[in-house]
């Protein structure tokens, strides 16, 4: 598949890189789920798998190819890479990372020349990706894939902080599915 042009621009953006490093430093002693770059990349890749699995399983398989498929992939990766970018602001000022993330992501997306038709949906998902497994997202949308991937990326079955985690027992992942 062709290169993801906007994703490459985001990865090269100095502010994006700095924020990722800051998240890692601020969470160095955190015992619960962290939000560093590898988490964001897990979310991108799981969301892409979920999308592809649904394409294969449904009558839509074969409908999407070439440019359409690459657009989906790039929108998924941009959103996954940006979904927790507001964490630094949350730790520093108490502002929720969804809202802070929307503000920061809007500027970053502008600066990398993100297509106008993608921008508002990506920002909507960045702002509202938290909550109970994306219940506010419509099935089969960008937000649905990102929220399910965000949840599924957590390896609760191996976590030593599971006892005091705020997730309800029923929410905790007991195995891997993607
Ligand atoms: Fe988050
Ligand atoms: Fe996350």
Residue 114 lies in a domain: yes
What is the Å distance from ligand 1's center to 5 Cα? Answer: 25
**Token output for 84:** 């927790």
Domain count, the chain: 1
Residue 12 lies in a domain: yes
Is the Cβ–Cβ distance between 30 and 96 less than 8 Å? Answer: no
What is the Å distance from ligand 2's center to 65 Cα? Answer: 28
Exposed, middle or buried: residue 130 (CB in 10 Å: 0-12, 13-18, 19+)?
Answer: middle
What is the pLDDT at residue 148?
95
Q: Please list all protein residues whose beta carbon sits less than 5 angstroms from ligand 1, which is an ion.
A: 84, 130
Looking at the predicted structure, is the pLDDT value of residue 166 above 80?
Answer: yes
Residue 81 lies in a domain: yes
Exposed, middle or buried: residue 77 (CB in 10 Å: 0-12, 13-18, 19+)?
Answer: buried
Residue 138 lies in a domain: yes
CATH code, 32 = 1.10.3210.10
- The tens digit of pLDDT for each residue in 19-47 reads 999 999 999 999 999 999 999 999 999 99
What is the pLDDT at residue 62?
66
- The tens digit of pLDDT for each residue in 71-98 reads 999 999 999 999 999 999 999 999 999 9
Is the Cβ–Cβ distance between 8 and 16 less than 8 Å? Answer: no
3-state secondary structure of 13: coil
What is the Å distance from ligand 1's center to 62 Cα? Answer: 33
What is the Å distance from ligand 2's center to 62 Cα? Answer: 30
Residues whose CB is less than 8 angstroms from the CB of residue 141 and which lie 6 or more positions away in sequence, other chains included = 121
Q: Does the reported pTM lie above 0.85?
A: yes
Residue 177 lies in a domain: no
3-state secondary structure of 14: helix
Q: Which domain holds residue 57?
A: 5-153
Q: What is the distance between the alpha carbons of residues 42 and 112, in angstroms, rounded to a whole number?
A: 22
Is the Cβ–Cβ distance between 145 and 51 less than 8 Å? Answer: yes
37 φ, ψ (degrees, to nearest 5): -55, -40
Residue 178 lies in a domain: no
What is the pLDDT at residue 167?
94
Residue 99 lies in a domain: yes
Residue 111 lies in a domain: yes
């Amino acid at each position: 598949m062709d290169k993801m042009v906007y994703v490459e621009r985001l990865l090269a953006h100095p502010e994006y890189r700095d924020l990722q490093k800051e998240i890692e430093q601020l969470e160095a002693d955190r015992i619960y789920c962290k939000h560093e770059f590898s988490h964001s990349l897990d979310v991108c890749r799981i969301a892409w798998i979920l999308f592809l699995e649904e394409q294969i399983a449904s009558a839509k398989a074969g409908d999407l190819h070439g440019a359409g498929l690459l657009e989906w992939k790039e929108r998924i990766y941009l959103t996954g890479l940006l979904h927790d970018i507001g964490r630094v602001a949350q730790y520093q000022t108490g502002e929720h990372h969804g809202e802070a993330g929307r503000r920061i992501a809007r500027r970053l997306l502008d600066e990398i020349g993100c297509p106008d038709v993608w921008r508002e949906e990506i920002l909507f998902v960045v702002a509202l990706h938290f909550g109970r497994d994306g219940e506010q997202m419509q099935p089969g949308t960008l937000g649905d894939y990102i929220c399910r991937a965000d949840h599924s990326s957590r390896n609760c079955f191996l976590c030593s902080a599971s006892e005091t985690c705020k997730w309800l027992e029923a929410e905790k992942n007991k195995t891997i599915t993607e």
